[in-house]
Amino acid sequence: MELPILVTGAAGFIGFHVSRKILEEGTPVVGIDNINSYYDPTIKRKRVEILKKLAKITNTQFRLIRVNIHDSKGISNIFRKDSFSCVINLAAQAGVRYSIENPSKYIESNLVGFGNILEACRRNDVGQLIFASSSSVYGGNTNIPFKESQTVDHPVSLYAATKKANELMAHSYSHLYGLATTGLRFFTVYGPWGRPDMALYMFTKAIINGEPIKVFNNGNMVRDFTYVDDVVESIFRLISKKATPDYNFETNRPNSGSSWAPYRIFNIGNSSPVSLSEYIEAIEETVGIKAIKILLPIQPGDVPATSADTSSLEEWINFKPRTSIKEGVSKFVQWYCEYYNHTI
């Protein structure tokens, strides 16, 4: 019988989409999620319901275990009861601005929790760990497009610092224990079933309801918005192509994206950055309503621009994220209107 894949954060935005893809391909999934109240847990429960229904339709096993990844005993028990072919760690305390107000939550989940996942993988001979990092690790770097080989030593938020720490922690386990680890630097992922605290969700809701939206950096923020289906396809391909040592690695000129150990870091971005103003225009065009904008300065913890060089990812899995903003925003708005029974 095929071993299941463990997906942490399976009730979350990206975790839900990844779990659905794996189930559709006929592989069983064990999900972990604590379904916390960082945002309305109703949408998390609905995602889980969809996964359970899909498992029945595809005759594939799906099981969700409610546990926080910082619970070391709970995580150990899960790994003791089941064997996994791969672990995909997408559980984390999300949000750059929330990390300014509640730093302890990030220490607990993103550092202690990730350490528990690494240790469970090591002690139970898991063959591969894929984990979420973030484009925020590039911090104050202005040399764009960002490439994995660049140093990422100047984070501008605690969230970014925890993601950089995850990469370092993973590398030490790859070096010491031979655990194949692949870190994914996500660039502003958006799409259906997205988090209600994310810009696209909040903007769409406000514009449809005729309410004003807060536009930071006067709309001049530039982001490499990445559609969720492109992220999922990247992760799915990486499952079958795990990290291997880079035998051309030069220790006197270290590349941050690879190692002599079975460790890799990849940018997952669309490589077509657009301004926040253009992003809002795509929403306006889709819903047919002009936004009421409140222009504000840039917020603490934010960076003016992100842009991904994805050439390493393309070379590794022969895939490049490419969904346009117009197409991606249209699909989100369609989902949003169906979910909330709106007519536009």
Phi, psi (5° rounding) for residue 53? -65, -40
Cα dihedral angle (7, 11, 15, 16), rounded to 10 degrees?
A: 110
Please calculate the CA angle 110-111-116 and round it to the nearest 5 degrees: 100
Cβ burial, residue 239 (10 Å; 0-12/13-18/19+)? buried
DSSP string, 216-255: EGGGT-EE--EEHHHHHHHHHHHHTS-----TT--TTS--
Helix (H) or strand (E) holding 14: helix 13-24
Instruction: Establish whether 159 is a catalytic residue.
Output: yes
Rounded Cα distance between 33 and 195, Å, is 15
Looking at 98, 159, 190, 336, which residue is catalytic?
Answer: 159
Residue for token pair 């994914």: 184
Q: Which residues are catalytic?
A: 159
